[in-house]
Structure 1
Amino acid sequence: MSDLAPKLTHLNDAGQPAMVNVGGKAVTARVARARARVRLGADIVALVQAGDLPTRKGPVFQTAIIAGVMAAKKTADLIPLCHPLGLDDCQVSIEVLPPDSLLIECTARVTGKTGIEMEALTGASVAALTVYDMCKAMSHNIVIEEIRLLEKTGGKSDFHHQD
């Protein structure tokens, strides 16, 4: 592999898994935003069109938002080589996208030495999984798709997804 080729950062020189040493990095304000799309189907979306859908487990949107924030805070417990981060902020939003989908976005912020994109991705993913869990009694044809990083700023390089 050439020196100019990208290399995996979570492998040591022996090819074994390793946490990245961020000790020498500068502390900067970092922000990441991620999105998950959930195709619920037109029937379920019609039920949530006028507002949050109440279920036996609680209101779908409110529960999914709380789950997303909780998951972002626990990312290092879920993804083995992620650094534990004390989030400065985490916001999860859910938008109805007619005729059959929801867009879930998670924006995470930290002032630290390492990026926050895994926290944003985890928050969006778990919020989407929570929607699935709460709506599966109405349909198992729910599809979680397009989980992706939309943008990150504040590190060595910024990233902005181009649609």
Structure 2
Amino acid sequence: MLTHFNKDGKAIMVDVTEKNETKREAITSGKIFMNFETFQKIKEGTIEKGDVLGVARVAGIMAAKKTSDLIPMCHPLFITGVDIEFVLNEEKLMIEARAIVKTQGKTGVEMEALTAVTTSLLTIYDMCKAMDKAMTITDIKLCKKTGGKSGEFINE
């Protein structure tokens, strides 16, 4: 059932008034591939614009908090925690970003976590595009979510 449409087929924000508050968490991930020089400079912290991963982490956290301003049918949420992690893979010249977002509420934080991880990767691209315009962002996905009526979901 499509919950973002009313009986007349018009777009609506889902009414969560009667839903129970539960602890909710969403974990997302995504990857950015780049050339060797860009990867090395990020790893060494020598990109001219500054601490790429530090700025990308803050950007992801800020994005999670602004998700309802960007996605029309998202509810504004009281986010209780956001963590952004980066794993550098030198063999593949790739950085994997993971976002973990938590709340205690009536609706999940999947969109906030997806927005966080995407914005983190876009920030890496933005800070490094002068030296590598061919960077590729891929595999943005929900890895896991807990809480709510549907319970746990794990994306294998």
TM-score (norm 2): 0.94
4+ residue segments displaced more than 4 Å? none
Q: In 2, Cα distance between the equivalents of 1:78 and 1:53?
A: 32
State the match for 1:3 in structure 2: none
Counterpart check, 1:85 vs 2:72: no
**Of 1, 10, 14, which aligns to 1:20?**
14
State the match for 1:42 in structure 2: 36
Tell me the C-alpha RMSD between the 2 structures: 1.1
**Of 123, 127, 144, which aligns to 1:151?**
144
Q: In 2, Cα distance between the equivalents of 1:26 and 1:52?
A: 45
Question: 1:71–1:18: structure 2 CA closer, same or farther, 3 Å change rule?
Answer: same
State the match for 2:96 in structure 1: 103
Counterpart check, 1:141 vs 2:121: no
Q: In 2, Cα distance between the equivalents of 1:39 and 1:12?
A: 41
Structure 1 residue 48, shift from structure 2 partner: 2.8
Structure 1 residue 144, shift from structure 2 partner: 0.6
Counterpart residue identity of residue 69, structure 1: I
Gaps of 5+ in 1: 1-6
Q: Secondary structure at the match of 1:54?
A: coil
Aligned-residue identity in percent: 39
Q: Secondary structure at the match of 2:117?
A: helix
Q: Is the 8 Å Cα contact of residues 47 and 128 (structure 2) preserved in structure 1?
A: no
Structure 1 residue 53, shift from structure 2 partner: 4.0
Q: In 1, Cα distance between the equivalents of 2:4 and 2:13?
A: 6
TM-score (norm 1): 0.90
Question: 1:68–1:128: structure 2 CA closer, same or farther, 3 Å change rule?
Answer: same
Gaps of 5+ in 2: none
